[in-house]
A and B are shown apart, each in its own frame.
Chain A
Amino acid sequence: MITATNLALLAFLAVLAWAIARIRNLFVVTMLAGIYSLLTATVFVLLDAVDVAFTEAAVGAGITTVLFLSALLLTDREAKPRKNRLASLGPMVLVVLLGAALVYTTLDPRMPHYGDAKAPAHGRLAPEFLADTVKQVGADKPTATHIPNVVTTTLASYRGFDTLGEVVVIFTAGVGVLILLGGNATRRRRRNPAPREESSGAGSSGKGAGA
């Protein structure tokens, strides 16, 4: 049953990816990308990665779609048709070869199967994290302060420094958007120009933002 569901979801993902690559209407592409993220979140749920699925649903299907839509407001609805169709053949061949190579490596008998307890990734650190989460983080009163979500303890405590880096990355992205597109341009123009321009600029900017 799980295999059938997985296959169906992966087939949907493949069809969506093909459609996203083909369709030129950017509004439709944005919506399809949102659906793609939601399906990916479902795949993550089936893989028992609930935290990742949650993030994918909130960030990939939610915010990213809205940000793409607001970026679409600033550009055309349609992508320009490709002038030379043969030019996209090279990347296509490259991608197919890479995908085939990745699938081929999973067929290697030395690769651990999905969920294999003996996989190298489960051999080191992970058992210690799992055992110590209750012992160390919950200390001597496991019932009182025990943190059941190992993902949270790993993310915020064992790898606290790593997560600090991630937050700084988001901080940098926000500051970067502010510097590139931020309000400074508006403010500078409102301070400097002649009165007639100023009034026309302010009026239409209010109208545009409200639309």
Chain B
Amino acid sequence: MIEHVVLRVIAKLLAPFIVLFALYVQFHGDFGPGGGFQAGVIFASAFILYALIYGVENARQIAPPAVAQAAIGLGVLIYAGTGVASMLLGGKYLDYSLLAHDAGHGQHYGILIVEFGVGVTVAAVMITVFFTFAGRRGVLEAREDVATTEDDEDR
């Protein structure tokens, strides 16, 4: 779809705003609707939009698969690590009250950190799943090529 000028320009214009909106949803989830799950999906949709218009290869250069795959685990680690941190501070697992000088701030920080972990994992999984599906087409075509060359060798 790279030949459509309108799509190209609009996609490039929209992408930063989509990312900005994702960050707003992520870090404003304690005051309005939203949170890590929605923010992660919106964040990923900016990259998927870019990949749809400019091709998966270009999108892979912006979001390298290795980074995205590492981020899948990183988000879970942030979440679970917050629980471990509260245990090390002498509380129960995922009891955020001890993360700051008073319980209210502790809860607030804990919720923000944990939601950030959720957002990282969701965004990374969505990007990775899309890249894997989109890259699969190339794999299939390559396999057909290999199959035909093998047929040639048999003859």
Contacts and interface: CB of A to CB of B under 8 A. Distances in A.
Interface of A: 50-51, 53-55, 58-59, 62-63, 66-67, 70-71, 73-74, 136-142, 144-149, 151-153, 155-157, 160-161, 163-164, 167-168, 170-171, 173-175, 177-178, 181-183, 185-186, 189, 193, 196-197, 200-202, 204-211
A58 B135 CA distance: 23
A51 B139 contact: no
Interface in B114-139: 114-115, 117-118, 121-122, 124-126, 128-130, 132-139
Interface of B: 25, 29-35, 37-38, 41-42, 44-45, 48, 52, 55-57, 65, 69, 72-73, 75-76, 79-80, 83, 93-94, 96, 102-105, 107-108, 110-111, 114-115, 117-118, 121-122, 124-126, 128-130, 132-143, 145-146, 149
Residue from the set B25, B52, B65, B142 with the largest chain A CB neighbour count within 10 Å: B142
Contacts of A73: 133-134, 137
Given A160-B94, A174-B125, A206-B57, A182 B108 contact: no
B136 to A, nearest CB: 5
Given A66-B48, A201-B142, A148 B31 contact: yes
B137 A63 contact: no
Contacts of B142: 186, 189, 200-202, 204-205, 208
Contacts of B37: 55, 59
Contact of B138 (A155, A197, A204): A204
A62 B34 CA distance: 15
A162 B62 CA distance: 33
